[in-house]
């Protein structure tokens, strides 16, 4: 055999053997590749999802405490597969930016006071019209009459409404006793939404927007001299350090609402979506009960610390009712037929 023929034969045999080995190994390679792929898919599908949730109020606030329990309920119901981290007191995102941050997907979930959206849609102001619903039963009926329409409005902005919880009834805080309402003429009054601004104007006061964490500083620097807010906020901000009187006028019960980015919600597995909705339902029930208990408890704390608590006189009631009637008509003009639909449903309950 020639040297050339020898090498050709040797090469041919070697190539044939390697080809046979490769063909025999292909099923094993495919099995290994499939196994690795399945492990990767399984790991990805079971990886925990982490959500950051900004809230505007401090850790001692009952809204924040209720939301922390909501987050824990979700965590337990999903076997730690969905972990919601609550960032309180505006520490992650300031109150004014929370809604847009959720809508744009910067964070998947957040809490805000509903009436903050009144400038973009007057329907969100319905719970802050004076004397339209000034006790818990009426406030609940108003919520039942309005929540479906409000949820639809939010969905247009790629937001899903989860639940809402009211503050205790709003009262008047001052450094003097309010008997008729005339005492508020010219007073610099803290406001937090469109309704409180308009109420101050109709009472002859000068409204100034101040967020809850900034209230003590605003009073300390003379930026404001009075405020309309709940017993909860009054006690949590130590109103006795800068005010003397609280009139339990029970003007309205504004609500905080929790919203979630609709795309982020739909991206979750069905079981996790159901866990969120179930936890939200419980949080709403728990929050309404906590708000009721909060009213008496925080009024008691203020009294213990020297705040003089009074009920509105007949003259003050008449003045506030007059203001409430004016604001109801103004709200209906802005809210149009949808607003009338809410009021009709509310009065029919």
* Listed residue (222, 159, 227) closest to 190, CA to CA: 227
Q: What span, in angstroms and rounded, lies between the C-alpha atoms of 251 and 230?
A: 10
Q: How distant, in Å, are the alpha carbons of 111, 142, 166, 170 from that of 114?
A: 9, 14, 10, 15
Rounded to an integer, what distance in angstroms lies between the CA atom of residue 143 and that of residue 141? 5
Q: Are 75 and 84 in contact (CB under 8 A)?
A: yes
pLDDT tens-place string over residues 225-251:
999 999 999 999 999 999 999 999 999
**pLDDT above 70 as % of the chain:** 87
Residue 211 has pLDDT above 50, yes or no: yes
For 145, half-sphere exposure in the C-beta direction (CA atoms, 13 angstrom radius) is 23
pLDDT digits (tens, 9 = 90+) for 155-182: 999 999 999 999 999 999 999 999 999 9
Q: pLDDT tens digits, residue range 111-135?
A: 999 999 999 999 999 999 999 999 9
Rounded-to-integer distance, Cα 254 and Cα 55, Å: 16
- pLDDT of residue 259 exceeding 70, the answer is yes
Do residues 307 and 234 touch, judged by C-beta distance below 8 A?
yes
Q: Rounded CA gap, 170 and 134, in Å?
A: 9
Q: Which pLDDT band holds residue 47 (cuts at 50, 70, 90)?
A: low
State the pLDDT at residue 256. 98
Rounded distance between C-alpha atoms, residue 145 and residue 152, angstroms: 13
Q: What is the pLDDT of residue 33?
A: 42
DSSP state, 81? S
Q: Are 171 and 243 in contact (CB under 8 A)?
A: no
Q: φ and ψ at 158, to 5 degrees?
A: 65, 35
pLDDT at 185 over 80: yes
44 exposure class (CB count in 10 Å sphere: 0-12, 13-18, 19+)? exposed
The pLDDT value recorded for residue 7 is 38
- Average model confidence (pLDDT) for the chain? 90
Nearest partner of 154 among 94, 95, 99, 96, judged by Cα: 99
306: CB partners within 8 A, 6+ apart: 240, 244
- The residue that leads in pLDDT, 11 or 97, is 97
Residue 337's nearest CA partner among 120, 114, 194, 149 is: 149
pLDDT classification of 281: cutoffs 50, 70, 90:
very high
Which pLDDT score is estimated for 16?
53
Percent of residues, the chain, with pLDDT higher than 90: 85
Please tell me the predicted confidence (pLDDT) of residue 286. Answer: 98
Q: What is the pLDDT of residue 265?
A: 98
């Amino acid at each position: 055999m020639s040297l050339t023929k020898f090498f050709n034969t040797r090469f041919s045999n070697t190539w044939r053997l390697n080809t046979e080995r490769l063909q025999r190994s292909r099923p094993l390679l495919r099995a290994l590749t499939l196994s690795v792929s399945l492990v990767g898919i399984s790991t990805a599908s079971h990886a925990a999802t982490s959500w950051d949730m900004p809230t505007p109020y401090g850790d001692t606030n009952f809204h924040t405490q209720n939301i922390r329990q909501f987050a824990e309920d979700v965590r337990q119901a999903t076997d730690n597969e969905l972990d919601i981290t609550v960032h309180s007191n505006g520490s992650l995102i300031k109150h004014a930016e929370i809604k847009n941050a959720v809508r744009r997907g910067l964070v998947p979930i957040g809490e805000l006071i509903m009436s903050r959206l009144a400038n973009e849609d007057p329907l969100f102001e319905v719970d802050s019209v004076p004397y339209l619903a000034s006790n818990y039963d009426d406030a609940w009926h108003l919520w039942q009459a309005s929540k479906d329409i409000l949820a639809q409005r939010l969905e247009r902005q790629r937001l899903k409404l989860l639940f809402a919880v009211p503050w205790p009834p709003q009262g008047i805080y001052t450094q003097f006793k309010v008997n008729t309402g005339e005492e508020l003429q010219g007073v610099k009054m803290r406001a937090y939404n469109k309704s409180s601004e308009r109420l101050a104007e109709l009472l002859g006061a000068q409204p100034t927007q101040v967020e809850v964490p900034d209230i003590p500083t605003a009073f300390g620097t003379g930026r404001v001299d009075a405020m309309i807010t709940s017993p909860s906020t009054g006690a949590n901000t130590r109103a006795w350090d800068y005010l003397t009187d609280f009139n339990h006028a029970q003007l309205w019960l504004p609500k905080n609402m929790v919203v979630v980015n609709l795309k982020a919600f739909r991206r979750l597995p069905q079981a996790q979506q159901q866990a969120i909705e179930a936890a939200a339902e419980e949080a709403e029930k728990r929050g309404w009960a906590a708000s009721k208990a909060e009213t008496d408890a925080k009024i008691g704390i203020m009294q213990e610390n020297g705040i003089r608590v009074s009920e509105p006189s007949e003259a003050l009631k008449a003045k506030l009712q007059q203001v409430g009637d004016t604001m109801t008509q103004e709200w209906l003009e802005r809210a149009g037929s949808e607003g009338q639909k809410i009021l009709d449903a509310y009065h029919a309950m």
